[in-house]
């Protein structure tokens, strides 16, 4: 068993424990704290799951580093990826959904080693959707291999996206402009309220295209690897290489679809992680 295999076995058990916390608490009364705005939320469950993952990994691998949504954003630290094994964690992606008891919420955890993604896990414990990937070993959904649809035509593509909120007026304006441009050109649009799950829909072939501005590295680190290992592509929405710290992502079922759609987007450039 390789070191990566050992890391995966450990984090798999921890993610299942974290999922149990989400499942137990999604329908309960929640203590909610606002962060940067009244739509940027954190609950006790977010903090409990992140602490469970970090403590569990640190106990066995004390030299590993962490980029966690709650710890990193709370301390307003800039994200730095080094060659050291680094776990990138969103303990509850889709916190707004979790607060409203909507079942599209998940744990997202990715491992980077030497600045390259090695492990990606996205787990929705409410609906029992478990997506996973290891570099070079393919992508899986509940243990079964998955592949992207391979769709190349924008007119036949189902697109995943999010609209944002009125608390971000400039981003909202650009997203609405992109909707105006793209809705007549695509087969349909969907939004689950979780960046990681939206990306995993592309990975499993349930959707063909996904884009979002303003997300963070902990939203995309795991799902990026899952999409790529499923045969999809992740790029910058303007058409360049994907940068996990850019807070911008476009993933698609084919390079042709990614290229065609990237030419149409009105661009938005948030501050980097």
User: How far is residue 105's CA from residue 26's CA, in Å, rounded to a whole number?
Assistant: 9
Q: Are 193 and 102 in contact (CB under 8 A)?
A: yes
- pLDDT at position 7, please? 98
User: How far is residue 146's CA from residue 129's CA, in Å, rounded to a whole number?
Assistant: 13
How many C-beta atoms surround the C-beta of residue 38 within 10 A? 10
Q: Tens place of pLDDT for every residue, the chain, 273 residues?
A: 899 999 999 999 999 999 999 999 999 887 766 655 545 567 899 999 999 999 999 999 999 999 988 776 655 678 989 999 999 999 999 999 999 999 999 999 999 999 999 999 999 999 999 999 999 999 999 999 999 999 999 999 999 999 877 678 888 899 999 999 999 999 999 999 999 999 999 999 999 999 999 999 999 999 999 999 999 999 999 999 999 999 999 999 999 999 999 999 999 999 999
Backbone torsion region of residue 145, taken as left when φ is above 0, otherwise alpha when ψ lies between -120 and 50, otherwise beta: beta
- pLDDT at position 74, please? 57
User: How far is residue 159's CA from residue 45's CA, in Å, rounded to a whole number?
Assistant: 30
Q: Which two tokens stand for residue 117?
A: 């993604």
Q: Where are the alpha helices (DSSP H) in the chain?
A: 3-25, 44-60, 69-74, 95-99, 169-182, 195-203, 217-229, 255-262
- pLDDT at position 69, please? 81
Q: What is the pTM of this model?
A: 0.95
Q: How many residues does the chain have?
A: 273
8: Cβ contacts below 8 Å, ≥ 6 apart: 119, 134
Query: CA-based diameter of the chain, in Å?
Result: 52
- pLDDT at position 2, please? 96
């Amino acid at each position: 068993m390789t070191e990566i295999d050992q890391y995966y076995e450990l984090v798999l058990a921890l993610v299942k424990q974290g999922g149990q916390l989400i499942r137990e608490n999604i329908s309960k009364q929640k203590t909610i704290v606002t962060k940067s705005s009244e739509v940027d939320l954190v609950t006790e469950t977010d903090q409990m799951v992140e602490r469970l993952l970090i403590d569990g990994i640190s106990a066995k691998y004390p030299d590993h580093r962490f980029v966690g949504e709650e710890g990193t954003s709370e301390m307003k630290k800039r994200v730095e990826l080094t060659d050291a094994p680094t776990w990138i964690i969103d303990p509850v992606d889709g916190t707004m959904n979790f607060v409203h008891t909507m079942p599209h919420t998940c744990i997202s955890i990715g491992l980077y080693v030497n600045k390259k993604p090695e492990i990606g896990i996205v787990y929705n414990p409410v609906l029992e959707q478990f997506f996973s990937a290891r570099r070079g070993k393919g992508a899986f959904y509940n243990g079964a291999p998955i592949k992207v649809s391979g769709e190349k035509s924008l007119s036949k593509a189902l697109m995943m996206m999010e609209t944002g909120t009125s608390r971000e007026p400039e981003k909202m304006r650009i997203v609405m402009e992109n909707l105006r441009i793209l809705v007549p050109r695509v087969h349909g649009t969907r939004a689950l309220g979780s960046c990681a799950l939206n990306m995993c829909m592309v990975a499993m072939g349930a959707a063909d295209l996904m884009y979002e501005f303003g997300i963070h590295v902990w939203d995309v680190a795991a799902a990026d690897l899952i999409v790529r290992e499923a045969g999809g592509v992740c790029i910058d929405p303007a058409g360049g290489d994907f940068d996990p710290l850019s807070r911008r992502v476009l993933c698609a079922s084919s390079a042709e679809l990614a290229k065609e759609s990237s030419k149409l987007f009105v661009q938005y450039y948030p501050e980097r992680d």
